Structure 1
Amino acid sequence: MNGAIEFLLEMISDQLSLSNGSKDVLTQNLNQYLPELYRYSVSIMNVVVKPIAYSILGFLLLLELQSLAQRFHSSSSNGFGLEPFIPLFLKIGICTLVMRYLPIFLQAIMEIGIRITQGIADLGIDASNNQSIDISSAMETVSELNFFSRMVLLIVLLIPLLISLITNILVKVMVFMRFLELYVYLCISPMPISTLPSAEISQIGKNFFKLFIAAALQGVLLFIVLSFYPILVNSAFSLGVNQGVIEIASAIIGNCIALGFCLFYTGRWSKSIATAA
């Protein structure tokens, strides 16, 4: 019985420390996380989406030229210089340059968030090597309990263990979904970017950049939340004579639920920071 209780405490401690390395992948770029998926996404972008985007760009260029021609036709000015065309040609040139080297530009945006994440990791604030539960002290307390009390303790500890396991799975899912969102953005990126030269629908391209920046920034927020969590756990939980099992189990479950909500809210926080719709 004591061995089973000690095993459960070690499992809970290991799960609460988030020692599975999920947050370490947040320091990786798209071509490092899943290289095969990155190459496939780039192929979709170059072979399928980019030719359509160039067609959209050419069509928008014709519309802008038509708009300029109509303005000149209705203008009473006798002069006909190239000055009004210069901003349009500059926008077309910059947009074409960005679309040609699009993976590099998007990777550069991600690299800013990765540098911030790596800087946070290099600070050395790491609670993963510290046990969130003092198991030796816990077992001394457990040895003083009768058989029935130890049986109840064993059953009660199964609940926070299950919740902590679910939380660790949720962490992995959230990290994967964030990368998957970035891969999808990479595939279709030429189409929204091709709208940037248009005065009427350029908001589509601007909003895409905001969404991509928000998705990249979400990695920073996820890393911060996952870095905070073991430290909060270590400072909050101890199994001793002054705490009952129910209080400890409730604290563990409550912190796991709070972590889950924080993980979901990182997407909303990042979009709020990037002012993305």
Structure 2
Amino acid sequence: MFDLFGTIEEWIRGLLTGFVSSNLTTMFADVNEKTGTIASEVGQTPQGWNTGIFSMIHNLSDSVVVPIAGLIITFVLCYELISMIIEKNNMHDMDTWMFFKWFFKAFVAVFLVTNTFNIVMAIFDVGQSMVNSAAGVIGGSTAIDIAQTITAMETEMATMGIGELLSLTLETALVSLCMKIISILITVVLYGRMIEIYLYSSVAPVPFATMTNREWGQIGNNYARGLLALGFQGFFIMVIVGIYCVLVNEMTVAANIHSALFSIAAYTVVLCFALFKTGSISKSIFNAH
């Protein structure tokens, strides 16, 4: 009779231990996959992320937005010329130099609009270079050693009773579900940033058309700050991934399995929250709004 109860107990313990190990393996695999995806996604330029979307945005910019930018340039340059003439005591203090200055501004405005897409892509190329350099400096791996972690946890689970194992099974199932939700949120952050980049790029000629005017130039200047903020956001994302790497690698699994489990979950939640904040932090630094 006692042997039967012992056999049933061992079977239940083995079943619960298997459930816990399966949940942990799935959870850690999701974390490893998503943190690895962050580094690869952030390091891509708009043309490298999706060539089909990039081609569509480029064509829209050239065929739809550039003609509108040409009209804006015409208005801005006319406004600039009238303002220059009025400022010179209603044409009583005219000099030829102001016309050379006006022609130079016109040349710069046309040059900016006709080369807008190249300038925008150059900004993101600089951002990608920073991301790649940051990845080399960080040098750590955010990957959790699944086999070693599971082995350490199974060693501690061997000393647990059935009640504690049942509690741990429910905990791992809950944390694993939360991790999947967080993985979706991280994907939303990464894809949202790239879509925002494409939206910014699609209308680039319009704000660039205003940059040579003193009054209207605030539109172009703020747009340029927004571009820099988007480009440098990738660098901030890499810094956050590096911080997450340090936190995970310093975690001691064998000390307390419950504490270790929720520590990983907490670190991943912080990672997700910090990724959502990178956009506002970057815009705040560059004073973009």
TM-score, normalized by the shorter chain, greater than 0.5: yes
How many Å separate the matches in 2 of 1:243 and 1:97?
Answer: 64
- Normalising by structure 2, we get a TM-score of 0.87
Moved more, 61-70 or 132-141: 132-141
Aligned 8 A contact 1:16 1:164 in 2: yes
TM superposition shift of 1:255: 1.8
- Distance, in Å, in 1 between the alignment partners of 2:85 and 2:236 is 48
Unaligned 5+ residue runs, structure 2? 1-14
Matched to 2:263, the amino acid is A
Q: Is the 8 A contact 1:88 1:197 kept in 2?
A: no
In the TM superposition, what are the counterparts of 1:22-41 in structure 2 within 5 Å? 22-41=38-57
**In 1: Cα distance, 2:104 partner to 2:163 partner:** 79
Partner of 1:264: 276
Match of 1:251 in 2: 263
Q: Is the 8 A contact 1:196 1:205 kept in 2?
A: yes
Of 164, 178, 199 in structure 2, the residue corresponding to residue 163 of structure 1 is 178
Determine the C-alpha separation between the residues in 2 that align with 1:43 and 1:198: 27
- Deviation string, structure 1 residues 178-219 (Cα, Å, up to 9, x no partner): 110110011111111111122221100000000011011111
The code of the aligned residue for 1:255 comes to: Y
Is 1:216 aligned to residue 231 of structure 2? yes
Matched, 1:86 2:100: yes
> For the residues of structure 2 that align with 1:227 and 1:162, how far apart are their CA atoms?
24
Cα distance in 1 between the residues matched to 2:103 and 2:217: 15
Contact (CA 8 Å) 1:196, 1:202: kept in 2 or not? yes
Structure number having the greater helix percentage: 2
Q: Distance in 1 between matches of 2:35 and 2:215?
A: 50
Q: How many residues align?
A: 272
Q: Find the aligned partners of 2:22 and 2:36 in 1 and give their Cα distance.
A: 18
Could you tell me the percent identity over the aligned residues? 22
How many angstroms apart in 2 are the aligned matches of 1:82 and 1:185? 39
Between the aligned partners of 2:192 and 2:270, the Cα distance in structure 1 is 19
Q: Distance in 2 between matches of 1:174 and 1:273?
A: 19
TM-score norm. by structure 1 comes to: 0.90
What is the RMSD computed on CA atoms of the aligned residues? 2.0
Higher-Rg member (1/2)? 2
Q: Which amino acid aligns with 2:278?
A: T
Q: What are the equivalent positions in structure 2 for 1:82-161 lying under 5 Å apart?
A: 82-123=96-137, 125-131=139-145, 134-161=149-176
| Aligned CA distance change for structure 1 residues 170 and 181 (closer, same or farther; 3 Å) | same
